Amino acid sequence: MSTTFSVETPQVRTKKKDRFVVSTMKRLLKNKLAVVGLIIIAIQVIMALTAPWITSYDPATQQLTKSELPVMSEGHILGTDNYGRDVWTRIVYGAQISLVVAITAVTLGLLGGVVLGMLAGYYKKWDAVIMRFVDLLFAFPGILLAMLIIAILGTSLINVAIAISIWSIPTCARIVRGSVLSIKEKEYIMAMKSMGASDLRIMVKHILPNALAPIIVFATMRMATAILSTAALSYLGLGAQPPTPEWGAMIAQGQDYMWTSPHLTVIPGIAIMLTVFAFNVVGDGLRDALDPNMDLN
């Protein structure tokens, strides 16, 4: 697969790319677990996009007289929380928050990781410096690093996204560097070099597309981690500030009522579990689908 991209004319490349995408999708769709994951993700995305239309309440509006209603109450399909806020509405708006924070965090992390990994892999003299810095980031356990960053920046969802993105950088940088190291020795790169292509052109147009597969898998898996970490940090009170309907914050708030109204913790818990599960199985499926060796089976 790798040689197909580089020396063809643009039109042919696009066609080949399309064919590659289609065949990858086909392989992915054969993986039943991944399909389930995709469906869950699709539902979450739809929920997030159509939030105002599929709910009839505001996520922050309280009805103190209607608090802690159980699941399937009249007008409140998933019941209400201790402030009388509709749980279904909060779950739906929570999906929005989880997705936005996770996508932001993963995008920022990828940006940093790809740039660092690319530079480290391509320029030998930068390798040691960048990778030692990356090792330094690795030395902290992930969630601890995130908490440290939030302690410095202050508690807010934006800072959670920044913290998670910084935490994603080292892993991403290592993956990219590894791919770059192997790709840059390929003949077509040598050919580009001998034709006088600039380093930037080689990196962006020729190495990056070929290193994309592991990055895509990493990004998908990272989405799961990001959603889980956002929830964890909010649960600890370091992320979303009340009354933001963040899933982790909802669990933290509901746990005092666990004995009387278990749905306040169970429902957001299920939401987090399903989403994380979905991104993980899709990531797994993508890894298998993007592996060129799969054709041999």
Partner 1 sequence: MKKVWVLFVALIAAVVLAACGGESSSAPSQTNEGGTTEAGGGEIEEFVYASTSDVAGLSPILTNDSVSANVQEHVYETLFERDTDTGELIPSLAESYENPDELTWIFKIREDVVFHDGTPLNAESVKYTFDKLRDPATAAPRASLLEPVDEITVEDEFTVKITTKYPYGPFLASLAHSNAAIVSPTADQAQDLMSNPVGSGPFKFVSYTPGDQVVLEAFEDYRDGAPDIKKLVFKVVPEISTAISMLQTGEVDFIDNLPSEQIARIESIQNVDIEKKDGTSVFYLAFNQSRPENQDENFRKAVAAAVDRDTFVGKLNGLGLRSDSVLGPMVFGYNESKNAAGQAYDPELAKQLVEENGYGDRTISLLTANRDNFILMAEIAQAQLTEAGFNVKIETMEWATFLDTARAGQFDITFLSWANLTQDGSEMFYPNLHTDNIGSSNRAQYSNAEFDELVDASRTSVDQEERLNYLDQANGLLLEQNDVVVMYHGVVTGAMNSEYTNLILEPNGKWTLKDVTRK
x/- mask, partner 1, residues 29-68, rule CB under 8 A, reads ---xx--x-----------------------xxx-xx-x-
**Shortest distance, CB of residue 89 to partner 1, whole angstroms?**
14
Residue 257 makes contact with partner 1 by CB under 8 A: yes
Q: Are 23 and 265 in contact (CB under 8 A)?
A: no
Q: Is 70 in the site for partner 1 (CB under 8 A)?
A: no
| Residue 269 touching partner 1 (CB under 8 A) | yes
Helix axes 142-153, 157-183, angle to 10 degrees: 130
205 Cβ neighbours under 8 A, 6+ residues apart: none
Q: Compare residues 148 and 208 and give the one whose CB is closer to partner 1.
A: 148
How many other C-beta atoms lie within 10 A of the C-beta of residue 128? 10
Residue 273 binding partner 1, by CB under 8 A:
yes
The correct pick among 243, 284, 291, 294 for binding partner 1 (CB under 8 A) is 243
3-state secondary structure of 54: helix
How far apart CA 104 and CA 168 sit, in angstroms, is: 12
Q: Residue 212 or residue 236: which is nearer to partner 1 going by CB?
A: 236
Token pair recorded at residue 182: 């192997």
82 is an interface residue for partner 1 by CB under 8 A: yes
Peptide bond into 243 cis (omega under 30): yes
Question: Closest distance between partner 1 and the C-beta of residue 237, in Å?
Answer: 5
Contact set for partner 1, span 129-188 (CB under 8 A)? 155
The reply to whether 260 sits near partner 1 by the rule CB under 8 A is yes
Residues 185-216 as b or e (16 or more Cβ within 10 Å = b): ebebbeebeeeeeeeeebbeebbbebbbbbbb
Residues in CB range of 6: below 8 A, 6 or more apart: 188, 189, 191, 192, 206, 210
- 3-state secondary structure at position 1: coil
The one-letter amino acid code at 101 reads V
Site size toward partner 1 (CB under 8 A) is 30
In the chain, the amino acid numbered 171 is T
For partner 1, the binding residue among 100, 266, 284, 294 (CB under 8 A) is 266
CB-nearer residue toward partner 1: 191 or 258: 258
Q: Does 3 bind partner 1 (CB under 8 A)?
A: no
Classified as helix, coil or strand, 66 is helix
Report the C-alpha gap between 16 and 20 in whole angstroms.
6
- Closer to partner 1 at the Cβ: 207 or 278? 278
Query: Which range touches partner 1 (CB under 8 A), out of 124-132, 136-144, 214-222, 260-268?
Result: 260-268
Instruction: Please report how close the Cβ of residue 252 comes to partner 1 at its closest, in angstroms.
Output: 10
DSSP secondary structure of 134-187 = HHHHHTS-HHHHHHHHHHHH-SSHHHHHHHHHHHHHHHHHHHHHHHHHHHTTSH
The span of 97-105, 187-195, 205-213, 263-271 binding partner 1 (CB under 8 A) equals 263-271
Q: 223 to 242, contacts with partner 1 by CB under 8 A?
A: 237, 241-242
Q: Which residues bind partner 1 (CB under 8 A)?
A: 32-33, 36, 60-62, 64-65, 67, 82-83, 155, 237, 241-243, 253, 255-260, 262, 265-266, 269-270, 273, 277
